[in-house]
């Protein structure tokens, strides 16, 4: 039986991915930093190589996902190198749509650094490049208002349930080694449309106001990164609709109609 280590098992995608893999007959090691007592858990930290090496021992495949951080590339590269040392065969990494080394968006540069490292590794690597998560937008709405410096630019936002479903397909199926999949929703939508689907008001903010609202709420690197991310969205660079999700899942990607009918998971 295949054994898969899922990093970020309690995160937005991991929460959906773990039960999907279990339903496919996979033995899952759900990596968490603090034990919750659920079966299949392994306690490890991307910053603790010894715990990571123990979590990777005897594993066939890894789903590599960690939060945006100034050290994200360092953490993910260390994990990939330890996976090679442990004899892991396959690795599926969560990147972001638009990842490239010369991007003005720091998050996209960090993802590009990881992708470049993995391209030179002996692992069977598949890169998933999702667009902005619907659930992340939902989490950003406060007091009935979704404020963002985006105007009427459209983004093909994706539901994290589709990202997890694609990850499960790629981790358990063949023919995905060396592939990079761009994961989008079924349509490019404005934040006003997103806000309506979420049942909140949209407020178009200028970038300085947006940055000011994040002061003291997020660390400066993260707030500055979000401003860069939103400038990228506002330039219309994340509006493409890609066929990878329907092709890999054999059904349409989840859209805002589904969002309006179902409870968000996170
Ligand atoms: N948000 C978006 O719209 C979007 C769009 C495209 C791509 N992305 C990419 O998606 C990735 C995930 O972002 P997210 O914010 O949604 O995160 P997430 O998957 O919700 O959470 C990340 C998980 O990582 C775990 N974690 C944090 N630090 C760790 C460490 N040192 N060692 C081991 N595990 C650790 C957390 O565990 P705990 O439960 O212990 O805290 C959490 O379960 C990022 O690379 C981001 O760039 C995001």
**Quick check: 86 and 56 in contact, CB under 8 A?**
yes
Which residue, by CA, sits nearest to atom 36 of ligand 1? 8
Token pair listed for 56: 């990777």
CA distance 21 to 9: 12
pLDDT band at 204 (very low <50, low <70, confident <90, very high): very high
C-beta separation of 26 from 61 below 8 A: no
Q: Is the CB of 139 under 6 A from ligand 1?
A: no
263: pLDDT strictly greater than 90: no
Distance 68 CA to ligand 1 centre (A): 6
Cβ neighbours around 157 below 10 Å, total: 27
Helix, coil or strand: residue 93: strand
Question: What percent of the chain is predicted at pLDDT more than 70?
Answer: 97
Q: Is pLDDT above 50 for 12?
A: yes
Q: What is the mean pLDDT of residues 75-79?
A: 98
Q: DSSP code of 253?
A: P
Please state, as a whole number, how many other Cβ atoms lie within 10 Å of the Cβ of residue 221: 12
Confidence category of residue 258, pLDDT binned at 50, 70, 90: confident
Atom of ligand 1 at shortest range from CA of 97: 6
Cα torsion 32, 36, 41, 44 to 10°: value is: 30
Residue 72 CA to ligand 1 center (angstroms) comes to: 9
Per DSSP, the residues of 59-92 read: -SEEEE-----TTHHHHHHHHHHHHHHTT--EEE
pLDDT at 262: 60
Q: What is the DSSP string of 124-179?
A: EEEEEEE--BHHHHHHH-BTTEEEETTTT-EE--B-HHHHHHHHHHHHHSSS-TT-
136 within ligand 1 shell (Cβ under 6 A): yes
- Pair of tokens at residue 2: 């295949």
pLDDT of 2 above 90: yes
Q: Is the CB of 78 under 6 A from ligand 1?
A: no
Please report the pLDDT score of residue 39 as a whole number: 87
pLDDT higher than threshold 70 for residue 260: no
**Can you tell me whether residue 202 is helix, strand or coil?**
strand
Output the six-digit token pair for 93: 């990494």
- Among candidates 142, 141, 136, 124, which has minimal Cα distance to 163? 136
d(C-alpha 163, C-alpha 133), whole Å: 9
CATH tag for 3-261 (out of 3.40.50.720, 3.30.360.10, 3.40.1350.10, 1.10.3720.10): 3.40.50.720
* pLDDT value for 97: 98
**Residue 4 structure tokens:** 């898969």
Residue whose Cα lies nearest atom 17 of ligand 1: it is 67
Q: What is the atom index within ligand 1 of the atom nearest the CA of 44?
A: 33
pLDDT tens digits, 93-124: 999 999 999 999 999 999 999 999 999 999 99
Please state the domain extents for the chain.
3-261
* 234 pLDDT above the threshold of 80: yes
**How do residues 130-156 score in pLDDT, each as one tens digit?**
999 999 999 999 899 999 999 999 999
- What is the rounded average pLDDT for all residues in the chain? 95
């Amino acid at each position: 039986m295949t054994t898969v280590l899922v990093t970020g098992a309690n995160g937005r995608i991991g929460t959906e991915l773990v039960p999907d893999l279990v339903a496919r007959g996979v033995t899952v090691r759900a990596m968490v930093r603090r034990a919750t007592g659920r079966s299949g858990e392994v306690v490890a930290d991307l910053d603790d190589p010894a715990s990571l090496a123990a979590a990777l021992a005897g594993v066939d495949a890894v789903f590599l996902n960690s939060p945006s951080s100034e050290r994200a590339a360092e953490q993910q590269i260390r994990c990939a190198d330890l996976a090679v040392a442990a004899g892991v065969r396959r690795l599926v990494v969560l990147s972001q749509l638009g990842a490239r080394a010369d991007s003005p968006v720091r998050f996209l540069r960090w993802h590009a650094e990881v992708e470049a490292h993995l391209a030179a590794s002996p692992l069977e690597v598949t890169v998933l490049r999702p667009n902005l998560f619907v659930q992340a937008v939902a989490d950003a709405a406060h007091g009935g208002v979704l404020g963002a410096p985006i105007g009427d630019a459209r983004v093909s936002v994706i539901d994290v349930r589709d990202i997890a479903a694609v990850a499960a397909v790629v981790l358990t199926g063949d023919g995905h080694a060396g592939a990079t999949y761009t994961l989008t929703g079924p349509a490019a939508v404005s934040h006003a449309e997103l806000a309506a689907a979420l049942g909140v008001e949209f407020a178009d903010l200028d970038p300085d106001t947006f940055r000011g609202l994040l002061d003291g709420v997020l660390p400066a690197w993260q707030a500055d990164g979000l401003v860069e991310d939103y400038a990228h969205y506002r330039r219309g660079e994340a509006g493409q609709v890609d066929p990878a999700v329907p092709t890999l899942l054999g059904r349409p990607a989840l859209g805002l109609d589904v969002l309006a009918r179902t409870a968000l998971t996170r």
